[in-house]
Chains A and B, each alone.
Chain A
């Protein structure tokens, strides 16, 4: 792989205070988040684990600033988040590439929005995720893994201080997923951003994260907060990981299922 261009690391720290949120679904009000308080130190890689549909993705939308919480405050370095900003970039479960833009055009999206011209950084991001040679391809010509790589490059080109990952590897086949996990971790180490990732995959969380937050079923409350004090290069068969995995599955109520 290419050498990663070095960027001055300014990872973002976050503080969430008593976040409540909910949605009106079919006329009835459904609470989604219940009194979430959480502090994330700059440079952490936090995995959010919880049952499907518990509200983890909603929490990410709030942190991204895509919608305001009903109650509570989210502070980024002490300043309340009032809207989206290019220092906090979201990567969604679907690549959501614009079909009318080439790979290159999609990766350059952040620059276009900011009205900035920096073709070199676009090329660097494309090369970084291994899509060199596909700059002029249309999204419909890409495989699922390649499309998600393009989405990753589109996020990285903004030099995010916080990368918000909403189950970005959830729809990939298992082999592509393994490769992407390794690359995500490498990027996080090299670039030095803070990362928050929603995942359903306990193993993925254990491999990548420095800390795992476990959520209850909806409305989501924090029921576990585990630091993973292991070196970045982890092996999937590490007995310490297996212990942690058992611990987490018990917290999620699946002690008998593995």
Chain B
């Protein structure tokens, strides 16, 4: 008892109950919540398998098996004690699928074809994965080229605006005229002026990514403490060093804000460009699905697009965390 008192003086309330609580708190707890995640998914599997469908839906038994497999996986994860923080989400998802399955596949509460069942969605991935994957690759390729060019140009133009008065004199009015225009507004013109739809879309994506990157790079470079330049100059640094090794790293936190904003505008531009111009990619797939009233296909494409966008944002934040590891506090994405 004395040992427990000295170890946890703050917990000692003096009452026997308080002392018992202090002792229980000292032992590692075995939370029960992770063990509930598997059963939640078994429930989804059971409902899917045993409760007859309201209509002739595809892949019902396969979906049930998939739910069960996820449940087994979660049980294994719980046994390995790797689930503690994510357990509430795993349970909520299992229950959510159960509710969706009951509401739509078993009772048909929501009007078809606008709302699909989980098995409809699974069926799209099983039967149309090739076209979905192909669309994803097309979108990614378009983004990579357009956004990449826009990001590089944006940083370069931003540094020019921040460092050179003459460059600023000529380029600033152009930036002010063209920059705030939504890139989508240029779409009809771009498809007329640029013969290749793909090239036109890449140019618009570059514009979408380039404008925020330019402005924030400029603001970052303009805000660099002049003393940083003095320190390097007194050691004999030339302009090249001042730009690449002083201005750029000092402006890097701002540059990443610009890159993040540019990525968001790029996503929007990408979807519109694919719908109206290039006739490929996830945006086009979605439009095609809507034209055929194939709503489950649209949901599937939306899911893939959402995963693509969040994946790219995560990637950008990963790079940022690495480049800005010197910063005191990083934002967690």
Query: Taking beta carbons and an 8 Å cutoff, which residues of A are in contact with B?
Result: 64-66, 84-86, 88-90, 92, 94, 96, 98-102, 109-110, 112-114, 138, 140, 154, 158, 164
Tell whether B234 is near chain A: CB-to-CB under 8 Å.
yes
Q: What CA separation (Å) do A114 and B245 show in the bound complex?
A: 13
Instruction: List, in ascending order, chain B residues with CB within 8 A of A100's CB.
Output: 249-250, 252, 324, 326
Is the beta-carbon distance between A84 and B233 smaller than 8 angstroms? yes
Interface centre among B227, B236, B249 (most CB of A within 10 A): B236
Is the beta-carbon distance between B326 and A84 smaller than 8 angstroms? no
Q: What CA separation (Å) do A122 and B144 show in the bound complex?
A: 41
> A162: shortest Cβ distance to chain B, in Å?
11
Interface centre among B232, B234, B237, B324 (most CB of A within 10 A): B234
Interface centre among B225, B326, B328 (most CB of A within 10 A): B326
Is the beta-carbon distance between B326 and A113 smaller than 8 angstroms? no
Q: What CA separation (Å) do A84 and B237 show in the bound complex?
A: 9
Is the beta-carbon distance between B249 and A98 smaller than 8 angstroms? yes
Tell me the chain B residues, 229-274 only, with Cβ under 8 Å from chain A: 230-237, 241, 245-246, 249-250, 252
Instruction: List, in ascending order, chain B residues with CB within 8 A of A154's CB.
Output: 231
Residue of A nearest to B231 (CB): A96
Q: A interface, by DSSP: helix, strand, loop or mixed?
A: loop
Cβ 8 A contact of A88, one of B232, B234, B241, B252: B234
Is the beta-carbon distance between B228 and A110 smaller than 8 angstroms? no
Instruction: List, in ascending order, chain A residues with CB within 8 A of B326's CB.
Output: 99-102, 138, 140
Is the beta-carbon distance between A66 and B227 smaller than 8 angstroms? no
Is the beta-carbon distance between A64 and B234 smaller than 8 angstroms? yes
Instruction: List, in ascending order, chain B residues with CB within 8 A of A140's CB.
Output: 326, 328
> A3: shortest Cβ distance to chain B, in Å?
26
Q: What CA separation (Å) do A64 and B328 show in the bound complex?
A: 33
Residue of A nearest to B241 (CB): A113
Cβ 8 A contact of B246, one of A65, A94, A98, A138: A98
Q: What CA separation (Å) do A164 and B232 show in the bound complex?
A: 14
Residues 172-208 of B, flagged 1 when their CB comes within 8 A of A and 0 if not, give 0000000000000000000000000000000000000
Instruction: List, in ascending order, chain B residues with CB within 8 A of A110's CB.
Output: 235-236
